[in-house]
Amino acid sequence: MIIILKSDATPQEQEQLITQIESAGLQAHLSEGTFRTILGIIGDESLVDADQLRAAPGVADVVPVLPPYKLASRDAHPQSSIVDVAGVKFGGGHLAFIAGPCAVEEPERMASIAKSVKAAGAHILRGGAYKPRTSPYSYQGQGLEGLKLLRAIGDEFGLPVVSEVTDPRNVDQLVEYVDMLQIGARNMQNFVLLTEVGQTKTPVLMKRGMSATLTDLLMCAEYVLSQGNPNVVLCERGIKSFDSSTRNLYDVAAVPAIQQLSHLPIIVDPSHATGRPELIPPCALAGIAAGADGVHIEVHDKPSEAMSDGPQALLPEQYAELAEQMRQLASLLNKQVPVTEGVS
């Protein structure tokens, strides 16, 4: 951490700062320039509070040297992490596909969608049992019944399952039924929920909040990691923009940018990022080209009857064609994509 002193800081203010730093068990290194004096803090900077120092007399600014997300940062963990979801790996050269309807649907429809995404080569089945809707009048999901159904269909087709947890009181219930807990964009900064999820060992799919910076996203991952759950997969799903041409603004640059900052895997969700089926395949491929560790896509066999997000669903045949292209691109980039039965 570096403290930049005001040009009119007095010798007493300087002394006071050095005493404060040393009494925290750290060393202070004074460097006097022609116009400005700076104090470098040597040691574990978490032992001092940057905001308190910023408010101290004689201080112009305080610049932390390390990122505030210590556990999520690549500095702390130079090697890319691999997150294993019931045998399906994300990160460190492994790429996996998540597919399924937005909401858990009725049993026959779930079975038909699961069968088709499995045949297309998807590795994990998705479906929301608890839907965080912008409107309280929109479909809210089947709750526990939906979770049971998702689990049963996943087991029937040999697919691990992911579903969103919206309420800290439901974490124990979801952990019983799913292989991966999704934290939705609307809940990314629900710190009580993050703390609760961090106390499990279940892998977490953490979606970027719609107006979250990359630092915000990594600080939320830090909440989960700091509770002892190391299994976090980040997800770029688009951010708010002034342009309504797409549902959100797909920030594909977030993928390599996150990979510079953090060792955690990051996947892309071009379904929620674009909201437009015709844009999903090129944006999914762009995500893989940018280095994504996985791709999350909503698929439905009757979008006009979907309980939620029908307009952005890919049809099973469109998904199958895209999955083939994704595998080809991944292989060109030397990424490992597990081959499932039915895919040559």
Considering only residues 300 to 329 of the shown chain, the ones binding Mn ion according to CB under 5 A are 309
User: Smaller CB distance to ligand PEP: residue 148 or 186?
Assistant: 186
Q: Could you tell me the smallest distance in angstroms from the CB atom of residue 271 to Mn ion?
A: 7
Query: For ligand PEP, which residue has the nearest CB?
Result: 184
Rounded CA gap, 35 and 162, in Å? 57
Minimum distance between the CB of residue 189 and Mn ion, rounded to whole angstroms?
19
Q: Is 214 in the site for Mn ion (CB under 5 A)?
A: no
8 phi and psi angles, rounded to 5 deg: -105, 20
- Residues of this chain, 37-66, that bind Mn ion according to CB under 5 A: none
Q: How far is CA 1 from its chain centroid?
A: 28
Type of residue found at 60 = A
151 touches which of Mn ion, ligand PEP, none (CB within 5 to 8 A by kind)?
none
User: Is residue 111 within a helix (H) or strand (E), and if so which, with residue range?
Assistant: helix 107-120
Nearer to Mn ion, 247 or 263 (CB): 247
For Mn ion, the nearest residue by Cβ is 102
Question: For 61, phi and psi rounded to 5 degrees?
Answer: -160, 160
List the one residue out of 94, 120, 118, 119 whose CA is nearest residue 331: 94
CB of 308 vs ligand PEP, minimal distance in Å:
7
Kindly state the smallest distance separating residue 284's Cβ from ligand PEP, in Å: 15
Nearer to ligand PEP, 58 or 265 (CB): 265
Interface contacts to ligand PEP, rule CB under 6 A:
102, 128, 184-186, 207, 237, 272
Strands in the chain per DSSP E: 2-5, 27-32, 37-42, 59-63, 83-85, 88-90, 96-100, 124-126, 161-164, 180-183, 204-207, 232-236, 266-268, 294-298
| Contact map string, positions 80 to 119, toward Mn ion, x by CB under 5 A | ----------------------x-----------------
Angstrom distance (rounded) from CA 21 to CA 115: 62
Question: Is beta strand 180-183 parallel, antiparallel or unpaired with respect to 124-126?
Answer: unpaired
| Nearest distance, CB of residue 215 and ligand PEP, angstroms | 19
Please give the residue ranges that form the binding site for Mn ion (CB under 5 A).
102, 309
